[in-house]
Structure 1
Amino acid sequence: MLWQVLEGLSRDSAKRLRFVPGVVYADEGAACGQSPEDRAKTVAEAKLVLQSVGFPWHIVALEEVFSLPPSVLRCSAREPVGTEGAYKAAVDSFLQQQHALGEEQQSLPCPPRPPIRAGPPTAGQTEALSTLFSSVETLTAKEELLRTLRTHLILHVARTHGYSKVMMGDSCTRLAIKLMTSLALGRGAFLAWDTGFSDERHGDVVVVRPMREHTLKEVAFYNRLFAVPSVFTPAVDTKAPEKASIHRLMEAFILRLQAQFPSTVSTVYRTSEKLVKAPRDGCAAGTPGPRCLLCMCVLDVDTADSATAFGAQTSSQLPQTQPPVAQAEAPTVSCCCTGMGGARHCCRTEEDPRARVIEQLCYGCRVNMKDLLSVAALPGPPATLHPGRGPAPQPEGRG
């Protein structure tokens, strides 16, 4: 994708791109169990590739999610309506700047800028990230948590440096696998956002997927024929067996079908193109609504109106609420309080942090949170949570 952008920005391109891009590299070595030496080697290799491109680049570590502001969990408002001419004015200004650079400098994709890299993560942040992923029981939940944290970090970098679009390199094959995986994880209501060309759930920053028309084989052939430099890093599911997670199982299922029936990936992908986004997208419509605390999608679970959902949630919590066998050495602690009318209730239930987090998640994220032993390891201050449903809505206008 990066080399395609380079070709589109060159002066020999028939349809030259009219934007100045930047590159973000997220170091996920701590979540994948890499040693500090291996992480430093990988970052050095990535830096060589980024320096050869000529774009402004940003290297961030995944540990920086523990220092993100609470505003990253809020859907920021878009630009006010009525600025249709702003884009044309920006394009005209860009063309004038390119013309002023001269004929000898037009071959460069953008003016050279100093690299922007945050300081290395602290030992406490690395330990906190390792503790977080160690507390996740299943590989499926680890992959979903890693994807969520990576998205929050990239969006924060985009907002900090003034980028309005984030281009992801998801190919047609990866999106077909992602569609089947999302269905298995209970995220069918958000397939149009998770696999579509554009994802506007975050408001001011739009996620686009320009590589969704190319398969993995086409991308591999392109990299081979044009000698595109690559940096290979281990993932959280590297060397994992086929049935270790839903992601690995769906990947093996789709690729095996593709080997026998070459139209499998294209069929699944074309099916995703027919999905339309629900009109209840509150942030895009200008009416903020309750959103999931992790994936920022509109909450699709309403336990107040659904007896089935309430019964499923209550029955899933029954094994956790069963009192343990009384032990002689265990001290007796009274935690029950008397409310109005003499009704007794347990104060621990009302202040349970897991319950506060669960009620602000969509169905798919709730399923993954069941594999997290403790919500105390999650990044973000308690101020980001509120008693209502979903993240606190941000006032209109950009801050």
Structure 2
Amino acid sequence: MLASLMSSEAVRKAAAVSLIFATTSAVIGVHMPYLPVWFDWVGMSPYQIGLLGAAPVIVRIFTIPVAGFYADRWGRTALLVVLLSWAAFAGFLVLSQMRGFPLIMLTIVYLAIVWSPVFPLSETVAMGVIRRNRLDYGRMRLWGSVAFIVTNVAGGWAVDRLGQHTIVWALAALVLVSTLAAHVLLVTVGHDRGEAAAGGSSAARRLSLHDVADLAHKPAFLLFLVATGAVQSAHAVFYVFGILHWRTLGIPAEMAGGLWAVSIVMEIALFAFSGAVLKWLSPVQLITLGCIASIVRWFAMGLDPGLALLVPLQMSHALTFGASHIGAMHFIARNVPDHQLGTAQALYSAFTGGIAMGAVMLSIGPLYANFAGLAYWAMALVSAIGLLASVRLASLKYYQL
């Protein structure tokens, strides 16, 4: 009877985590590919679009670690997700009324402050649930990919049929749904993983700045950050200019949404079977595989391939993003102590989505303006840096953090 109750509780927590993954990813499904299209609609130049893409990435360098550290100190990660989600909803309503580069930039920076930490903090809650209940991260995370496909395809339809002005309103509505899901997460999961951890001793103790510095200075963790930061930031040209570039090649937004959907279907398949994959490959090997696939993908994308080649290239997203992300999550789960879990997740998100992505995004505006699709070749070089770091990490005999 007790075992049945514990199993039921684990299922409810897994469902709540799956819901927050789904709703936050639904936002990303519109935000990532179509917000640059809205920028173009309101009159932003390629240089300005590049800056609007880079600014929030740079802001994340500071906001995500601060949010992660504060969550570990405060001990209420799920509640922090709720508060930040409401602030983000207000921000998207404001963005819908903004015109002109300065006002749009100011609003985008605000959104980076309040919205950027939501997903990594949600993943912190998820990793705590996984540790306590021995659940499959991939099976929960795949619902995020499913939601991404739905809103990505719907976003392409909306742009083609209803107009580019609908993009920000759709984002505001999706963030509201995500905020409601954050309330469900708060009620179901309750306190963060530290307070609920079995035994509650070491995991529940308050994190210090010394702990953060100790983690950030470990060679294995630094190599991990470089490898994952490079392979994830290599997506920058595709994320910011991918659909805009396809439109210059005569590919309509609706078809572009379908191409994005192909990539996420393959990502879902990998997430669904990630438990089995991890029996064959270690987290570091998954990251290495993602780096290799990334070099091939972005070199080929620089050749402006036709639809026949674009489909398999989009399918490789399961490796360039999916494999490297699963590898990263399980590297953290297997090697980082409980009381540093939130901070490790925040440092990973800040480096991959902030420092590395920001450094790359600062260059892609001029790169794309001058070289168009050839800008993808620079992303292949970035991926090669990640490959070198992952190979070096794999050569270490011991990297418990």
Task: State whether TM-score is above 0.5.
Answer: no
Structure ranking higher in helix proportion: 2
Q: Which fold has the larger relative contact order, with Cα–Cα distance below 8 Å and residues 6 or more apart in sequence?
A: 2
* TM-score of the pair, normalised by structure 1: 0.28
* TM-score of the pair, normalised by structure 2: 0.28
